[in-house]
Amino acid sequence: MKNMSCIIPITYLLFITLFSANAQFVKKTYLVQMDKAAMPKAFSNHLDWYSSTVKSALLTTSLESSDMKNEEERIIYSYQNAFHGVAAKLSKEEAERLEDQEGVVAIFPERKYQLHTTRSPEFLGLEPLSKGTDSIFSENLDNDVIVGVLDTGIWPESESFNDTGMKPVPSYWKGACEIGRGFTKQHCNKKIIGARVFYHGYEAAIGKINESREHKSPRDQDGHGTHTAATVAGSVVHGANLLGYAYGTARGMAPGARIAAYKVCWIGGCFSSDILSAIDKAVSDGVHVLSISLGGGVSSYSHDSISTAAFGAMERGVFISCSAGNAGPSPASLANVSPWITTVGASTMDRDFPAQVKLGNGKNLSGASLYKGPNTVSTEKQYPLVYLGGNSSGTLNPKAMCLEGTLDPQVVKGKIVICERGISPRVQKGHVVKNAGGVGMILTNTETNGEELVADCHLLPAVAIGEKDGKDLKNYVLTNKNATATLSFLGTRLGIRPSPVVAAFSSRGPNFLSLEVLKPDLVAPGVNILAAWSEDVGPSGLAIDQRRVKFSIVSGTSMSCPHVSGVAALIKAKHPQWSPAAIKSALMTTAYVVDNTMKPLKDASNAEKPSNPYDHGAGHINPTKALDPGLVYDIKPQDYFDFLCTQNLTPNQLGVFGKYANRSCAHSLASPGDLNYPAISLVFAENKSISVMTVHRTVTNVGPDVSTYHVLVSVFKGASVKVEPETLNFTRKYQKLSYKVTFTTKARQTQPEFGDLVWKDGVQSVRSPIVITWLTPIV
């Protein structure tokens, strides 16, 4: 008898053959970088040359003969400011053929990015706490700094974008107010001076946007873009609140700055060709600051489209701030780590939204919540508790996490359900509980979240509690058949101590792409941030949420990034000639590393230990100090390029960054650690014979003409440190002086050591974090 398992139907073979034949012609979007200077004289403009080059690589086959696409239709974007080239729909073979064409520098496949999802000005010292005290806004209120926000669009009707009292739009502004469904020219004003949309890359990857579900216009129906834009530069709004929580005056970091909204994110994500086009257009429009609260993990410098476009924007004098990501507390979880980008982690503020769980055994557990709705849980009554997990830890249990379809109404009806964080959105878990008949939810942190409490605008009475209390609560339920509890909500509380604390979700270093560049650069408020919101979506962001609000409270490094962008705008207003690197230096060297109890900053993921520079970078942003830093570490575009020359990149990979200004390696850096960065990260290689390393730095005096700075440096267990010279004597403003720091190994350490180098003149304190790492030989 024949072995029938070896007989493959001829129809299946035909299908596989046809599939393979068609697969090579499947078109995807590629970013094609061109050498602008290599355009042949036969072409009158670069777009014609780009089109001709793309056309020369196209394949024509019978498979597409009935629906031929010309080369212009293949090209979905052209770039000519921060990046030079096109985005084109190509097959894999066409992309490979195009890569060999004259003038093509590099080709990148399309990449998908995701969003990294008030009292903060007052907490940061940016507004008077009481009448009669001074505010730095008084000298910057009418500044003409323009901040470009790459996000989900903007809700123009928000009071945060009121332009009352603002001067006319600056004459140098070249941007546009693009119209579309729900967005007209009248929606732009002297606050929102530009609004554009970018979707060609998204549609090439996902398909046509369903305009019945999404506004194919700058209008924001997600809320994220409105929130970040208002955090950067929102106008003053009195009486701002979310359902009564956080009641007070809301304002952006730079309320006098202008906003240009670039909508690059849609329901299905944010695509690199759209992001690149937005950055390219923003530079051409005339923005001074770019705020980008999205990311997609770490790629090599030359294969990261945000990194390459940001380099081009930096060359044109634009400051770029990006979110670090929400993948903490895992180590080496950062996004957006290029040294010319300011990478921002998240921290808490001194405001909280307390709630309480009162157990039947008399014990009270402290938590947080933004619930405001029907009072289905009475504080005068105890309700049965149910937990559908077990005693084991470290295993994922769908029922314990209250995932969709896992709860039995017969088990949870009329009860308060304990749900663990993970997999699904926090508010979604409460919806699952509510649909199953539960009257309330207690959301418990896991080891990943530690004791960090993120307040949410829940759809039923719900309280979030920390990991330790969560373990005690689950043990109480598992050992007591009659376990009960009730929930209470205590409103808004200020003056929380300690604060700030590094958020558990904030992505962490080290920066494995280049250990010599410390990342994140700094942290800023990113937990429970109140700002304007889209009225097309509820405060939870879920489609099932029918509530509508003007302000919402959201957490994420997406929220911390615009805080830094706004403060950068303030610095740019006061110091219009400063470079992006000088602004970053001012932010980093003035950052603080102690909380409001005068103890080292803590890490929410591990309350037992202080945070370190891999968690908080240079420290927590200090806007008032950053406006007058005393000294700055400046870095020119060529310096960044020379840094790349130390990163083992091929000539073609270096060309990605060097073609615009025809750069070549000047070999000005003896090592990557010699980049004039405001932080020092030293790496001793596995070779134990190398025991001495020296790094060099140059500071520019931006304070009084005559000043003398003395150095202080931490003591390390593993190395001695010598700074030469120990004193810097400045005789004029903008004078540059250099110093060197020599590290000599005393005893190699198994863990990195952290410390500081500080220059002091009696008034200013210019601090740089130091990290020393001894690499261990791989056995």
- CA quadruple 209, 210, 214, 216: dihedral, nearest 10: 50
CA–CA gap between residue 724 and residue 697 (Å, rounded)? 11
Catalytic status, residue 238: no
Q: Is residue 658 within 8 Å of residue 637, measured between CB atoms?
A: no
Coil vs helix vs strand at 677: coil
Q: Is residue 278 within 8 Å of residue 77, measured between CB atoms?
A: no
| Token duo for residue 516 | 């010599």
HSE of 285, CA atoms in CB hemisphere, 13 A: 28
What are the phi and psi torsion angles at 63 (to 5°)? -65, -30
434-437 LR contacts (CB < 8 Å, sep 24+): 434/459, 434/460, 436/407, 436/408, 436/409, 436/412, 437/409, 437/412, 437/413
Q: Which of 144, 151, 285, 350 is catalytic?
A: 151
Transcribe 80-123 into DSSP letters: ESSSEEEEEEE-HHHHHHHHTSTTEEEEEE--EEEE----HHHH
CA–CA gap between residue 407 and residue 336 (Å, rounded)? 39
Q: Is residue 117 within 8 Å of residue 526, measured between CB atoms?
A: no
Q: Which of 235, 273, 506, 558 is catalytic?
A: 558
User: Which strand (E) or helix (H) includes residue 263?
Assistant: strand 258-263
Q: Which of 84, 116, 200, 224 is catalytic?
A: 224
Sequence-separated (6 or more) residues with CB below 8 Å from residue 771: 510, 518, 613, 614, 679, 680, 681, 682, 752, 753, 754
User: Which strand (E) or helix (H) includes residue 709?
Assistant: strand 707-713
**Closest by CA position to 291, among listed 358, 341, 345, 241:** 341
Catalytic status, residue 222: no
Q: Is residue 187 within 8 Å of residue 148, measured between CB atoms?
A: no
Sequence-separated (6 or more) residues with CB below 8 Å from residue 132: none
| Token duo for residue 570 | 């303030």
User: Which strand (E) or helix (H) includes residue 569?
Assistant: helix 557-574
The distance of Cα 85 from the centroid of its chain, to the nearest Å, equals 26
**Closest by CA position to 326, among listed 116, 639, 604:** 116
User: Which strand (E) or helix (H) includes residue 442?
Assistant: strand 440-444
CA–CA gap between residue 459 and residue 443 (Å, rounded)? 13
**Closest by CA position to 606, among listed 516, 507, 501, 693:** 501
Catalytic status, residue 158: no
**Closest by CA position to 600, among listed 722, 426, 442, 754:** 754
242 strand-pairing partners: 245
What are the phi and psi torsion angles at 106 (to 5°)? -160, 160
Q: Is the peptide bond before 500 cis (omega within 30 degrees of 0)?
A: yes
| Residues annotated as catalytic (active site), given as ranges | 151, 224, 558
